[in-house]
Amino acid sequence: MNSKIRVLLLGLVTLVFFEHCTTKTSASKPETTEIIPAKKAVKGAKLDILTQHLKGNGELTKGDLVFLGVFDSTYANAPTQTTYLDTTVQLNDSIFYSILTLSDEGGNCSHSFILTINEKTKRAVASKLLKSDCDIDYSWASYDLFNYRIISKNTIELSKTTVFQKKKRISHDDEENIDHKQTKKSYFIIKQSGQITSRK
């Protein structure tokens, strides 16, 4: 009987000692608070400003395109200084997209892009070239015309019309020199995540 009591007492003492150590260890751990790095905070503030520009039909600079980090460097580092906003659509609570146009250095071509922004994570998600419009040389046998329209909240339809000219172009009216036209349509889908896909 004594040996059983001893074992029981020893077990209780061990349990109390273990409980005391565990409580002390957990109590000695300092509370941690999440510190947002200064660089991340600055980037978030900058994106907030760009978001206001995009939603307010403002303009973005070349530096803004570089900052966003989703534009091909060919376009982001182009000599042009200003990007013009065409349309902005709120896709869901977090994501909106804008259609932006930027001209090349000589002003011969303009390039339109789809840009998606996640307002909650404060980052640009993706960009995709929508269309390029360049000056038309009416001496060519054919040339392309592009037009787009938003057909639903997350779908943009792009029409590419190829204009074939007559072999003998004697009229001063360009329309009268047209032989025929062919139109092809393609579609850009903006996903709920902000990713952009295209299909024909």
Question: Is residue 60 in some structural domain?
Answer: yes
User: Residue 1's pLDDT is what?
Assistant: 52
Question: Is residue 11 in some structural domain?
Answer: no
* pLDDT tens profile 120-148: 999 999 999 999 999 988 888 999 999 99
The mean pLDDT value for 18-40 works out to 50
> Which residue type is seen at 89?
V
58 and 52 in contact (C-beta within 8 Å)? yes
Question: Is residue 53 in some structural domain?
Answer: yes
Question: Is residue 10 in some structural domain?
Answer: no
Question: Is residue 110 in some structural domain?
Answer: yes
- Residue 20 DSSP code: H
Residue span of the structural domain in which 55 resides: 36-199
Question: Is residue 17 in some structural domain?
Answer: no
What pTM, to 2 d.p., does this model score?
A: 0.73
User: Residue 143's pLDDT is what?
Assistant: 93
User: Residue 38's pLDDT is what?
Assistant: 58
Burial of 72 (0-12, 13-18, 19+ CB in 10 A): middle
* Distance of alpha carbon 30 from alpha carbon 26, whole angstroms: 9
* pLDDT tens profile 53-112: 888 877 788 788 888 889 887 776 666 666 888 899 999 999 999 999 888 777 788 889
* Distance of alpha carbon 21 from alpha carbon 76, whole angstroms: 60
Number of domains in the chain: 1
51 and 18 in contact (C-beta within 8 Å)? no
